Chain A
């Protein structure tokens, strides 16, 4: 690092406040020992500079606590953030329109992808419209995973070619909504789907299989889905379900590894505010042929 003798001398003079740059350098450890010592000595006797140093240092530590840089399966840098407050989330539940917007945005970016991404996620132009009143529940790693959001109201399936989806998918989701797991599994196993609808089929079927105790089948199924990129609450519930299946199947190491990551995820309780700093996942329009989703800890 280049030393600036004139600046060093100025910083050591009584009465010379630290600039924002110097404080930034000090907080991020970019000053050499002698310059740092002078800056610290000044801040120790200058309340104004001490306050600014405290603010900058606190900002840095809060950033380190709240945000994690990760790489999505598509190789793009994303931020994962935690909620700030220790208080329970308050405020209105996200509306069906909010949830639909999340699904729509996710599908729009997925529709630009080509190639077989494990499930053919990127090839389908199918759009699932779910009118939901979602019973969002707090699901911590220690608790049992929630049910997937219960669809009621009208379920409509359509894709860009105007071809109706396999009715077995709809029957399976309706059965799941009634908690009729036996029929849900029966229909979801038989549904012929592709692309995004296949994703839906797998996460609901995986949840149903877990709930009947078929942990290994649930694991095998959920591990083929890119759970990280699913919008919440589906993504969160699916990840918790996979974690629970790993745990209950006795795969302790994999479950512990996944549990550590999940315990740091934002808790999407009922009424969670739509925080723009929450998981942002963007998909690049590129060929993902042959890449298989690798869930965290799986």
Chain B
């Protein structure tokens, strides 16, 4: 993965309107910083890296807003939401580079509201194209206000684990699986991880910039990785069919560490 292009200190940061308050996300600031740089003269490698990062941030945040709006305004197929997010993200990126969308001096809340509105409008346009009735605004509360609560009831995470021995067993499983996966070379481990935890297709894995293989080769790698991990886990008395909570986080963390400091930011 291309290292993240460093950003020089800029006086045109997005001000934090409530630094000690709730909901102090970093991604709008990062987006604003990227936008500031993309509006300037950049080398091709830096521009490519920053452009890619900005597009990922835009797409991810728009996707979140789209899902929230869809929950309130009406269901839309996942593929349509993906298309809307991709299209809107591209449009916003073009506007950033052309200077027609200037994020300098914008408050974090302004960026939230704007992106939420873009997502909402995209969803409503989709409903209209699909000939569906556009519902009235739900409870009148903007979607972005819900994010500060996380949208979930607060529960003691300890309650997710039923008994001490179950916790120990889960911990052992996760530790063993992490060790077994380290037997794979990094690229193979990554391909296996993409398939198991993200459900990515062979084509997607092959095309991923951190893999870069043809699909046939990916299938071979996946087959071997499955066998290696299955045999390793069996030899330690574990079955890989059920993965307890905590497995994903442990392997995701380990994969990031194995990739090196340049990818720690992933």
Which residues of A approach B to under 8 Å, CB–CB?
1-2, 4-7, 10, 14-22, 24-25, 27-31, 40, 42-48, 50, 53-54, 56-67, 69, 76-79, 81-86, 263-264, 276-277, 280
0/1 string, B119-131, CB within 8 A of A gives 1: 0000000000000
Q: CA A262 – CA B191 in complex, angstroms?
A: 22
Decide: B160 and A47 in contact? CB cutoff 8 A.
yes
Most A CB contacts (10 A, CB to CB) among B56, B147, B157 go to: B157
| B59-80 interface with A by 8 A CB criterion | 59-61, 63-64
Residue B209, interface by CB 8 Å: yes
Query: B152, A17: Cβ atoms under 8 Å?
Result: yes
Q: Which one of B90-98, B133-141, B180-188, B226-234 is at the interface?
A: B90-98
Known A19-B23, A19-B147, A50-B249; 11 more pairs at CB < 8 Å: A2-B26, A20-B151, A28-B53, A30-B265, A40-B249, A47-B160, A54-B252, A58-B197, A63-B59, A69-B51, A76-B94
Binding site secondary structure of chain B = helix
Most central of A18, A56, A66, A82 by chain B CB within 10 Å? A66
Closest Cβ of chain B to A142, distance in Å, is 9
Per a CB cutoff under 8 Å, which of B23, B264, B265 touches A21? B23
The answer to whether residues A66 and B204 also contact, given A16-B154, A45-B157, A59-B60 and a CB cut-off of 8 A, is yes
B residues adjacent to A (C-beta < 8 A)? 4, 16, 19-27, 29-30, 48, 51-53, 55-57, 59-61, 63-64, 82-83, 86-87, 90, 93-94, 97, 147-152, 154-158, 160-161, 194, 197-205, 207-210, 214-215, 245-246, 248-250, 252-253, 264-266
A19–B23 alpha-carbon span in the complex (Å): 8
A-B contact count (CB 8 A): 181
B203 touches A84 (CB 8 A): yes
Structural contact, A21 and B27, CB atoms closer than 8 A:
yes
Residue numbers in A under 8 Å from B209 (CB-CB): 64-65
User: Given A62-B198, A64-B56, A53 and B249 touching (CB < 8 A)?
Assistant: yes
Q: Is the beta-carbon distance between A14 and B157 smaller than 8 angstroms?
A: yes
CA distance A277 to B174 in the complex (A): 38
Give the contacting residue for A6; candidates B21, B82, B87; CB below 8 A.
Answer: B21
Considering the complex, give the chain A residue whose CB is closest to the CB of B108.
Answer: A21
Q: Select from chain B the residue with minimum beta-carbon distance to A24.
A: B27
Residue on B nearest A4 in the bound complex, by CB: B24
In the complex, the answer to whether B248 meets A84 with C-beta atoms within 8 Å is no
- Among B60, B147, B161, B198, which residue has its beta carbon within 8 angstroms of that of A45? B161
> Is B194 in contact with A61, judged by CB distance below 8 angstroms?
yes
Residue of B with least CB distance to A48: B152
